[in-house]
Amino acid sequence: MRPPPIKGDQQTSQRDCPRLAVMASGSGSNFEALLQACRSGDPQADLVLLVVNNPDCGAIARAERLGVPWRLVDHRHHASREALDLRLIELFREARIDLVVMAGWMRIVTPVLIQAFPQRLVNIHPSLLPSFRGRDGVAQALNAGVTLAGCTAHLVCEEVDAGPVLVQAAVPVLASDTIASLSRRIQRQEHRILPLAVALALARVGPQG
């Protein structure tokens, strides 16, 4: 597949709205949920770019179907995490991005990216932070035997999954739950809270200068 051009932005509306980019590594369901929310006007923002680091991820097919420009930035082709983040910054600046959303981006970002978009980098994580930070938040919750799990949308800081919380949603853990079943219910809540988190993040900072 050939990525469509970023410049020109045929899919961008004529409204003077903040411009969003999404970073994804997997199926892209949060990307699609956020895009549909933006196209419905809540939040009032234009999602104009998807960046993926996995050439086989399902998010690409969603972007193709929904008419959103996308770019592959494969971490395996960069010498360091900092080099990867520098390439991301180039793309985001080229597309005049106001806010970046990490929606299932399975790479730890560095201060290089965080400092380029201070308070403008949002992450969605499948746990009720500060519990179960890092990888496999759902598995961590099941292994700990908790009766309440959930998801958190937060601003990104240099410590993993430790930035200011924007929105959380709780999900009961059932005795019959597996990682797959609990993940599905948590993901439905992620789809619900991510647009709200983006609106709150934009309200905090306003348009990018």
Residue 7 domain flag? no
pLDDT at residue 32, as a whole number: 97
Per the residue annotation, which of 77, 78, 125, 154 is the catalytic one? 125
Domain that holds residue 175: 19-205
Residue 5 domain flag? no
Integer Cα distance of 200 and 190 in angstroms? 15
Residue 14 domain flag? no
Q: How far apart, in Å, are the Cα atoms of 125 and each of 18, 94, 157, 206?
A: 23, 27, 14, 24
| pLDDT tens string 31-74 | 999 999 999 999 999 999 999 999 999 999 999 999 999 999 98
Integer Cα distance of 13 and 120 in angstroms? 21
Q: Which residues pair with 153 in a beta bridge?
A: 124, 167
Edge-to-edge, what's the strand order for the sheet holding 148-155? Answer: 70-72, 46-52, 19-24, 99-102, 121-125, 148-155, 165-172
CATH value at residue 175: 3.40.50.170
Residue 110 domain flag? yes
The verdict on whether 75 is a catalytic residue reads no
Residue 12 domain flag? no
Query: Which position has the token pair 């005049």?
Result: 96
Question: Is the entire prediction scored with pTM above 0.85?
Answer: yes
**pLDDT (tens place) for every residue of the chain, 209 residues total:** 545 555 444 443 445 799 999 999 999 999 999 999 999 999 999 999 999 999 999 999 999 999 999 999 988 888 898 999 999 999 999 999 999 999 999 889 999 999 999 999 999 999 999 999 999 999 999 999 999 999 999 999 999 999 999 999 999 999 999 999 999 999 999 999 999 999 999 998 866 65
Residue 121 domain flag? yes
Helix, strand, coil shares of the chain as percentages rounded to 5? 35, 20, 45
Instruction: Work out how many domains the chain is built from and give that number.
Output: 1
